[in-house]
Structure 1
């Protein structure tokens, strides 16, 4: 076993990384070189050439997160003052409209703190309508977008503005905006006189922005102690800058990016940690940072230690247990896994540093996301052109099936279509490296029990299986699906709206149409890249029960 932490671990939130098997061998092999190359101190010094000349320009504009204490120093006080003002006005319900890096960090921060934050990061009409209908009189909406042009967030903002006006509430007094300086959203906020505008640091990428205004503002307004969180991160960053064999960020980076052969399926399992939802936040950080140029690490977030990927890991799987840090949790015996523990703020900067360093080991730029834009472009084209829906290849009752060329040849039923897709996991070229991705463009709240099929499909196929809610995952694993190794097969589930569709104010399309366009655009880009895709569309949402039953079968 190898692992440990820098001297005085309590000062860094008790950060600890311990590894066994191939992961331990990777730590022993790679960390001394990282130390000799002064990688930790050079990351802290924001040297952009660490990832090669092609990445230097992007890196030069994305390393501000290592200086988060100074760059975010004024945010907690501003948030505390604003929260007090709102409380005096009887406003205590916080809704966050944001995607990816704008929503995942606030979600884990508030879940861990045990405070309520309504996260609206989808486009399902029923999900949006519920958020609009619930206690508007005491609601403040945080509209969060780094670019200021995220279509989902802009659509949600428009819907809330109209809803506030209809309820006799001044929208400007109930909108708080978080965005980069000079963005379209920043200009709108200033022109319309929103309640507060937080301009975040443009030198911090979205998925590295957990301890900037993007993470701190919504979480702090909801009641989380973001001042303490920021202090935890700042203390940890000082220690993670040390060129030392005991640096937990270097150890985690080596375990993630240094195994040989590469264990490129990173199974994230909460196993005693008091931090809730860290796996979902780390999922975006790992997938979007590393999944490109035909390389990458696929994060697989599982329900618990009993999940198939944990109890019987394949040769390409690295199990990462997120623990409470007790001594008895130290890994022992065979297997190849890593155990990580520490405070929330400490772990956030630990993972950010480790993933950046793992990018160096993998030979990729961890700060760009070239294939995220491809799905956005495909969606925009569908929104502009508004083509008729493609006819289904197969109709089985209330379920319409569409597939990439050849996938549904001879298929007449839903069961047979699923079998045909899963058969691709055994294709000789990818059989020992394949994975299945389930992508559900549905209602993340009302249809939440669909997520349980992930574990059933993993048990059935014996291969790592991911589950993502669309369009949320497009800002996360969507980059890996398109830019990473061509080893995945993809199951997309969509449906007609449950109830009436919902128009987007001052836009020529509805939330339902936007959701369908995002799904179709995503599928088209995957198909263009030669990935096998099965699209399952519910002509009636009641058919979801049948789809769930078919996907839950643990045998063909």
Structure 2
């Protein structure tokens, strides 16, 4: 594992920060699990959340259990592995499986269309890993209820198809025991975004066929370096992140085009944003974007020479080093890396809305074809709205696009007969809401981020509300043609999805930030209109 500085200003700032940390004995104190590093207010929580430091060793106790679990699944013909979990309960497993090139369906969504896609993938061959520290998260609870009902309706015993990963003593553990589900306990001393090498990351990955022992080997190899004052990649990376942020370079542009590790920036995004984004401070990760060369950017590349900092190493080591570096950076920035004080705001807003007879969507400020616009904008059409939002971004700010849609719907786009792969890719791209981020980014030198709802609520959602208040927000929702009931609950997935969007929008609006919701009355036509308008802006 190696971290190298490729820009003089970064090297100087990192050296200054590292010198202070070494003088205070911080590297060894962090590696040893000292909970006092983040101040008196954070000490109690930190003391209960530092178990991730020893996971490269302690998670080896899971290997026999994982081998037996995977063997039984194969013997039963359960080849379709689905992971129902949010944030730290899903992102690491997705990176592990994408990098190992083994199939895993991740459901970190409440979109009815995306859930119906997963349900259509052969229930008799499906094993669902339901993962959550408590299991009380509304998305996790809803998805478990949906799968339980669909297994039963298909004449299948849910106990033969559901695996639960949760903390000992949690409501989800009690539910698993009561229903007779296979249960794998997760370490109590590990929080969600620091759980990559725990049961949350390893159980679904092992079921899908990834070599999880190799991950632990690679993490275990780098672990002894983390107590050192020199030759410590975690110290080097953490000092660079913190030193740059203190110097005003608090936009972390993540570059991974040349690495064999697939999707790591999405995991880093949650880790860094949710750990640092509070008390008006924080580091904003920017994923999938080209650098703009602005004064507030820090470009960190994974296995690539493009950037101010280069981070080389295998996936297991990357997980551990990024966790260490983020926790260390938080000690410099003066924030608690293990809490998420503002995440509950959006959830509370959604709960309150779900209790109403009808969701209060209000009247649109304008309608542009299949798109309705809601919010305080003065524009009268989409090109004007996009231009208005881009002008509203402060000089040190960013634009966040968040989409509560089916992230796989673009693959339904028609392609020309006989189309080659490039033509198919072009067709999919022009049906993908994610393309909006790229088109808007061409028109500003400020960062434009993109998040799928409700996943981002457990990731950058903390930064949006708790970090520096310099964001501009564009939210996209869509009409639901075929909904999915949530058994035992008075709402459908479609109603829940819209309530989550409105709840988060309300939390942002209370902070006085520019925030607009675009509702697609026809999803496919609406996405096409958004992309066309972004090119007209």
Query: Could you say whether these structures have the same fold, taking a TM-score greater than 0.5 normalized by the shorter chain as the test?
Result: yes
1:534 aligned onto 2:516: yes
Q: Distance in 1 between matches of 2:354 and 2:293?
A: 42
Q: Distance in 1 between matches of 2:92 and 2:534?
A: 31
Preserved contact between residue 19 and residue 255 of structure 1 (Cα < 8 Å):
no
1:337 aligned onto 2:293: no
Match of residue 318 from structure 2? 347
1:383 aligned onto 2:354: yes
Q: Distance in 1 between matches of 2:533 and 2:216?
A: 42
Give the superposed CA RMSD.
Answer: 1.5
1:437-516 alignment, distance < 5 Å: 437-447=400-410, 449-497=432-480, 499-516=481-498
Correspondence for 2:183 among 167, 176, 197: 197
Match of residue 546 from structure 1? 528
Question: How big is the shift at 1:550?
Answer: 3.8
Question: How big is the shift at 1:97?
Answer: 0.3
1:408 aligned onto 2:384: no
Match of residue 388 from structure 2? 420
Match of residue 521 from structure 1? 503
Deviations 1:193-246 (A, max 9, x none): 00x1111111111000000000000011100011111121122112112122x2
Q: Distance in 2 between matches of 1:551 and 1:481?
A: 26
Q: Distance in 2 between matches of 1:222 and 1:398?
A: 40
Match of residue 424 from structure 2? none
Match of residue 250 from structure 1? 235
Question: How big is the shift at 1:489?
Answer: 0.2
Question: How big is the shift at 1:551?
Answer: 5.3
SS, match of residue 433 in structure 2: helix
Deviations 1:279-325 (A, max 9, x none): 0000000000000000000000015xxx2x2xx3211010011116x
Q: Distance in 2 between matches of 1:213 and 1:352?
A: 16
Deviations 1:420-478 (A, max 9, x none): 222211xxxx32x1101000000011147221222221121111110000001111000
The TM-score with structure 1 as length reference comes to: 0.90
Match of residue 369 from structure 2? 397
Preserved contact between residue 321 and residue 340 of structure 1 (Cα < 8 Å):
yes
Deviations 1:317-376 (A, max 9, x none): 10011116xxxx3x7xxxx71111101000100000000000011111111111111111
1:53-132 alignment, distance < 5 Å: 53-132=40-119
Question: How big is the shift at 1:52?
Answer: 1.0
Question: How big is the shift at 1:101?
Answer: 0.2
Question: How big is the shift at 1:17?
Answer: 3.3
1:237 aligned onto 2:212: no
Q: Distance in 1 between matches of 2:319 and 2:402?
A: 26
Match of residue 320 from structure 1? 300
Question: How big is the shift at 1:271?
Answer: 3.5
Question: How big is the shift at 1:147?
Answer: 2.0
Match of residue 5 from structure 1? none
Preserved contact between residue 3 and residue 309 of structure 2 (Cα < 8 Å):
no
Question: How big is the shift at 1:386?
Answer: 4.0
Preserved contact between residue 76 and residue 216 of structure 1 (Cα < 8 Å):
no
Q: Distance in 2 between matches of 1:274 and 1:32?
A: 33
Preserved contact between residue 372 and residue 518 of structure 2 (Cα < 8 Å):
yes
Question: How big is the shift at 1:261?
Answer: 2.2
> Comparing 312-321 with 452-461, which one deviates more in the overlay?
452-461
Match of residue 4 from structure 1? none
Question: How big is the shift at 1:30?
Answer: 1.2
Match of residue 249 from structure 2? 263
Q: Distance in 2 between matches of 1:272 and 1:389?
A: 44
1:208 aligned onto 2:194: yes
Preserved contact between residue 136 and residue 171 of structure 2 (Cα < 8 Å):
yes
Gaps of 5+ in 1: 1-13
Match of residue 7 from structure 1? none
Preserved contact between residue 71 and residue 201 of structure 1 (Cα < 8 Å):
no
Question: How big is the shift at 1:384?
Answer: 1.7
Preserved contact between residue 370 and residue 529 of structure 2 (Cα < 8 Å):
no
1:21-32 alignment, distance < 5 Å: 21-32=8-19
Q: Distance in 2 between matches of 1:490 and 1:551?
A: 17
Q: Distance in 2 between matches of 1:38 and 1:250?
A: 11
Q: Distance in 2 between matches of 1:109 and 1:361?
A: 30
Question: How big is the shift at 1:542?
Answer: 3.2
Preserved contact between residue 359 and residue 366 of structure 1 (Cα < 8 Å):
yes
Gaps of 5+ in 2: 411-430
Question: How big is the shift at 1:35?
Answer: 1.5
Q: Distance in 1 between matches of 2:350 and 2:169?
A: 25
Correspondence for 2:338 among 367, 385, 389: 367
Deviations 1:259-290 (A, max 9, x none): 25220100001042111100000000000000
Question: How big is the shift at 1:385?
Answer: 2.3
Match of residue 414 from structure 2? none
> Comparing 254-263 with 213-222, which one deviates more in the overlay?
254-263
1:158-307 alignment, distance < 5 Å: 158-194=145-181, 196-244=182-230, 246-259=231-244, 260-302=246-288, 307=290
Preserved contact between residue 372 and residue 520 of structure 2 (Cα < 8 Å):
yes
